[in-house]
Amino acid sequence: MTFPKNIWIFWEQGWKNAPYICKLCKQSWITQNPNWKINVLDKNKLSKYIDVLEVNKNFWNITPISTRADIIRTLLLSKYGGVWVDATTLCNTPLDKWLFKYFDNHATNSFFFFKYDSLKIANWFIVSNKNSYIIEKIKDNYVSYFIKNNKALDYFQYHATVKSLVNVDKKFNEIIKNIPLISARTARFLNLQHTHNTIDDEFHKKLKKNYSPVYKLTHKKNYLLKKKTNLYKLFESININLITGKHNQEPPINENKKEENRKEVNKKEENKKEVNRKEENRKEENRKKENRKGKNTTSKLKKIKSKKLINKLTRINKTRIAKIVRTVKIKIYVLNKKLSFKKNN
């Protein structure tokens, strides 16, 4: 049997939305393995290869999300064979240079995991021929559980299934036991180190001691990917570039960070606009107050002028009336005098 040189890598939400470290890891598999077919999958592209709805009509509601990935890796390897790599695995050495020392690509039931010990496996890197005994047993005992269930019993149900099969299936146990041991702990070395530190010899001495052809990273850790940092030097050493694949190129800003910066700028712009709006509202309010004050002042002035005019007219009228009264009184007085004079004569 000829081994299918497929590499399967999957990010459910789409690679455009994948964390930057996942994009770099994906690039490492492409750059390091030019003779392999790299199948870069997401939720929308998956149906071209397998129909997960045949397992469960509510497949995309199965939780946790890692369980969906476990089912997908099992189905792909069962149907097509090849190499499954998690989106956070870094290809440190081309597969052609090391894999077939540990994996018999001519044997039907050849299988490869990284292992913590002779029987405890890690499933972030799996190599299998299609329909191999191990992958079919995992499919029968793990995938079949989710035909009627939408929730995993445990986050590590896949590992528990493998452990159970090791205990009850002699052939399964024998194949797993005979897989050459490449330490999964060593492959996780980078997660335990200060990869964001400035380049130091101590880190690279440790890295040589803890060499692994594949390193398991995590998208939950904030790796600092700048020049003169340990992780940057590691990417550079394997000809991975932080997107273009060229050496000595300043890495672009982490896309998550870029998005954060964009949101921060937008937030500042919104705050600035809000301040300007408040300032305009304050000025408008002041203008209205001034206008109201002006109107009130004009009204008061009009009232004052009206009162003054009334008072003036009143004073004028009083003066005129007084004059008329005095005139009448004088006329009456004069008339009385004349009448009195006539009586006396």
Q: What is the mean pLDDT of residues 155-180?
A: 92
Q: Which residue has the higher pLDDT, 261 or 21?
A: 21
Which tens digit of pLDDT belongs to each residue from 248-298? 333 344 455 556 677 777 888 888 888 888 888 888 888 877 777 666 666
Per-residue pLDDT at 94? 94
Which tens digit of pLDDT belongs to each residue from 97-127? 999 888 876 676 788 999 988 778 899 999 9
Model pTM above 0.85: no
Mean pLDDT of the chain: 82
Distance of CA 78 to the CA centre of its chain: 33
Identify which of 5, 11, 10, 7 has the alpha carbon closest to the alpha carbon of residue 29. Answer: 7
Identify which of 114, 120, 98 has the alpha carbon closest to the alpha carbon of residue 183. Answer: 114
Per-residue pLDDT at 54? 95
Identify which of 182, 214, 208, 212 has the alpha carbon closest to the alpha carbon of residue 116. Answer: 182
Per-residue pLDDT at 275? 84
Per-residue pLDDT at 247? 32
Confidence of residue 168 (pLDDT cuts 50, 70, 90): very high
The topology under which CATH files domain 6-252 is Spore Coat Polysaccharide Biosynthesis Protein SpsA; Chain A (3.90.550)
Which tens digit of pLDDT belongs to each residue from 129-152? 999 999 999 999 999 999 999 999
Is the per-residue pLDDT at 224 higher than 60? Answer: no
- What stretches of the chain show up as alpha helix (H) in DSSP? 20-32, 65-79, 99-102, 133-141, 157-168, 170-178, 184-187, 201-209, 230-237, 255-344
Whether 108 and 40 have beta carbons less than 8 Å apart is answered as no
Is the per-residue pLDDT at 245 higher than 50? Answer: no
Which tens digit of pLDDT belongs to each residue from 72-101? 999 999 999 999 999 999 999 999 999 988
Per-residue pLDDT at 21? 86
Between 15-29, 38-52, 201-215, 247-261, the lowest mean confidence (pLDDT) is in: 247-261
Per-residue pLDDT at 248? 31
Q: Which residue has the higher pLDDT, 244 or 205?
A: 205
% of the chain at pLDDT higher than 70:
74
Q: Which residue has the higher pLDDT, 193 or 113?
A: 113
